[in-house]
Amino acid sequence: MPELADFLSLISGALVGLVLGLIGGGGSILAVPLMVYVVGVDDPHVAIGTSAAAVGATAFANMIHHWRLGTVKWGCALAFAASGVAGAMGGSTLGKMTDGEALLSLFGVAMIAVGLAMLRKRKGGEDAGVYLCRDTAGRLLPRLIASGLLVGALSGFFGIGGGFLVVPGLVASTAMPILNAVGSSLVSVTAFGSTTAANYALDGLVDWRIAGLFVLGGMIGGLGGALLARRLGQGKETLKRIFSAVVIGVGLFVAGHGASAFI
């Protein structure tokens, strides 16, 4: 029933957007299991390609907001993203070559890692004035390129935005404050998601209708999450811990469900 699938896509997107608006990064990791187990996408590769398209579009919308706030360190962000695009292309190509059930199982393992990472408090650096230029390129570029390649490859393989890895990668490479790392990470998440989606789309592995409905639902849910976050205040940390437990639990289910591919 196409109408039911459309409705479930919209609702699933709204749920992801609600989580993102409420507690920040990490919510998009639910996109693939929601597409497979709720919307009913049969092919894990299509779910991953479609998720990447939706995540890339959502990250772009959020990036514009951070750009206007002036939190994006463009030189560092573009260097990290540019090297990461090469990694995302390689990672997504490898992902397409991997058995669907095996890929789903590995995705479950990635979910567990994301859930555990969310339990750690994000820390930023002290260099608020960090800037990529001729004088700093020799120190910053090697770190940005190495981190970007690794994070991009993982993002492309699993079809996720990878923000939970991009943020610490930027902080470790440049010592920029956490607010700048979050804003700058969206440049990479947009680039990685778009690259992965484009690579999957070449083989017809993106359902653009579902991706569009996910983004639409995410915009609605994100607005509600942002409004609710203002009321909850410090309660957001408790919600984050609860959500991380949910992500770990879903990850265990997904990993177990696809483990038959390794047997």
- Please give the pLDDT value at position 201: 96
d(CA 71, CA 167): 13
Q: Bigger pLDDT: 257 or 156?
A: 156
Residues 6+ apart with CB under 8 A from 210: 5, 9, 35, 39, 41, 50, 54
The pLDDT of residue 46 is above 60? yes
- Please give the pLDDT value at position 93: 95
The pLDDT of residue 109 is above 70? yes
- Please give the pLDDT value at position 148: 94
pLDDT tens profile 50-108: 999 998 888 888 888 889 888 899 999 999 999 999 999 999 999 999 998 888 888 88
Work out the average pLDDT over 112-119: 82
* Alpha-carbon separation of residue 158 from 133, 153, 181, 222, 254 (angstroms): 33, 9, 22, 23, 13
- Across the chain, what does the average pLDDT equal? 86
Question: Chain-centre distance of CA 212, in angstroms?
Answer: 17
- Please give the pLDDT value at position 234: 61
- Please give the pLDDT value at position 247: 84
Domain boundaries, the chain: 2-262
Q: Bigger pLDDT: 78 or 178?
A: 78
- Please give the pLDDT value at position 205: 95
d(CA 159, CA 91): 9
